[in-house]
Amino acid sequence: MNGSEPRTVIAAATSAAALVEGVLGGNRLLLARAISRVENQTPEASALLTALYPHSGKAHIIGVTGAPGTGKSTLVTALAQSYRAQGMTVGIVAIDPTSPFTGGALLGDRVRMRALAGDEGVFMRSMATRGSLGGLSKTTGDVVTVLDAAGFDRIIVETVGVGQAEVEIASTAHTTLVIEAPGLGDEVQAIKAGILEIADILVVNKADRPGMDRTLRALEMMLDIEGNGARYVRHHGQLLRVESPVESDDEDRRWKVIVMKTVATDNTGVEELRQRIEAHRHWLVESGELALREQLRIANTLENIIRAELNRRIAANIPAGTLDELVEQIRHRKNDPYSAAAQLLSQV
C-alpha cells in the first residue's frame, strides 16, 4: 500500500542535563521526555531523579481510587478544573492496567479528560501498570516526583479501577479519596477491610443515581464502627493504625473522615470536595501528620529502590540456566524451593 519507503523514527536523544533544565524551566516537551525516561527506568533515570529530587516536596499529592466505573476520571477532570479556577496548576497521572498476557495496554483516561485540553496549567500523563498489582505502577511515585519538581501546585494520581485490597496509593498521596458509586454493594462490602480504610475522604459519585441513600447509609455506618479518626504510625517499617487514647487527643484535633456526595458530570459537590481536600491539607500541616506521612512515603521509596537494586544484583549473579535446572530438580522432588533458594542466595 505504501509506494516510497517511509522513514524510520528514533526517539529524541536528549541529555539528562538538558532534561533537568527543561523540567525546572517549564518546558513541556522535555518534561514529557523526562517522565518517559523515569517510567522506562533507562540508565540515566536515577541521575535525572537525583537532580530533580531537591526541587520536589512542594506539591500536594491527591490520590483518587475506587472501583472501575465509579467516575474517577470524570471527577479528576472536574477537580482539576476547580483547582484551575483558583489559579493553581495541576499535574495528573492516570493509571490503567497492562494486559498480563500481551504486555500491551489501552490507556483510556483521556477520553474523559477532554475538558482539560488546551490548558497550559494542566499536564496529564497516562501510565500502564506494567505488571504491578497495587493499583499503581512501579514508577508512579518517581513520575510524581518529576511533576512535583516541575512546579505543579497539586498532583492528582488516579489509580487503576481497584477492587478491595489495592492500597498502595495511600503511601504515595497526602490526601486519599476513595470513590464509590450507588448500587455497588451492600453493607457487608462496606465493613470489609481494605480500600475503605485508606480514605481521608470518602466520595459517593453519581449521587443522582438510584440507591444513593442506601450507599450513603452503609458508608456512614462503616465510619461509625471504625471509630472515625484513627491515626497511623510507623512501626518497624509497617503502617500501623492506632486508635488514639482519648485523654491525650481531643476530638477536635482528629481528622474526621466524612462521606461527600458528588455528580462529577455536572460539577455538583466538586467545589466542596476541593475545599475538603484543602482542609485536609491544612490539618496535615497543623497536626504534624504531614511529617509522618512524608516519613512513610520516603521509607517506602527507599525500600523499593533497595529491593529493586537487590533483585537486579541477584539476577545478574545467577549463572544462566541455573534457575531452570533448579526448577527441574524441584519438579522431580529432588530438591525443594526453600533449600534451592537458600543455596542460590549463598552463592550470590
Partner 1 sequence: MSERKIRILVAKPGLDGHDRGAKVVARMLRDAGFEVIYTGIRQTPQMIAEAALQEDVDVVGLSILSGAHMTLCPRVVELLRAQGQENVLCIVGGIIPDEDVEKLKAAGIDGVFGPGTSSEEYVNFITSHVRVPA
Cβ at position 57, least distance to partner 1 in Å = 23
Cell of 217: 447509609
For partner 1, the closer of residues 118 and 321 by Cβ is: 118
Task: For the CB of residue 269, give the shortest distance to partner 1 in the complex, in Å.
Answer: 25
* Nearer CB in complex with partner 1: 93/178: 93
- 3-class DSSP assignment, residue 55: helix
- For partner 1, the closer CB: 29 or 298: 29
Q: State whether residue 37 is helix, strand or coil.
A: helix
**Nearer residue to partner 1 within complex by CB, 126 or 189:** 126
* Structure-block grid coordinates of residue 162: 481497584
d(C-alpha 299, C-alpha 289), whole Å: 15
Cβ neighbour number for residue 239 with a 10 Å cutoff: 16
Shortest reach from residue 98's CB to partner 1, in Å: 8
Rounded least distance, CB 146 to partner 1, Å? 12
**Among residues 282 and 312, whose Cβ is nearest to partner 1?**
312
Compare residues 54 and 100 and give the one whose CB is closer to partner 1: 100
Q: Which residues of 299-308 are buried (b: 16+ CB within 10 A; e: fewer)?
A: ebbeeeeeee
Q: How far is the CB of 95 from partner 1 (least distance, A)?
A: 12
Q: Rounded to 5 degrees, what are φ and ψ at 240?
A: -120, 135
Q: How far apart are CA 213 and CA 193, in angstroms?
A: 22
CA 342 to each of CA 273, 327, 332, 339: distance values in angstroms, whole numbers, following the listed order: 52, 14, 18, 5
**What is the nearest approach in angstroms of partner 1 to the Cβ of residue 1?**
7
The residues binding partner 1 (CB under 8 A) are 1-4, 6-13, 28-29, 32-33, 35-36, 40-43, 98-99, 102-108, 110-111, 114, 117-118, 123-126, 128, 130, 308, 312
Give the CA distances from residue 206 to residues 79, 92, 120, 134, 175, in Å, rounded to whole numbers and listed in that order: 15, 22, 29, 25, 21
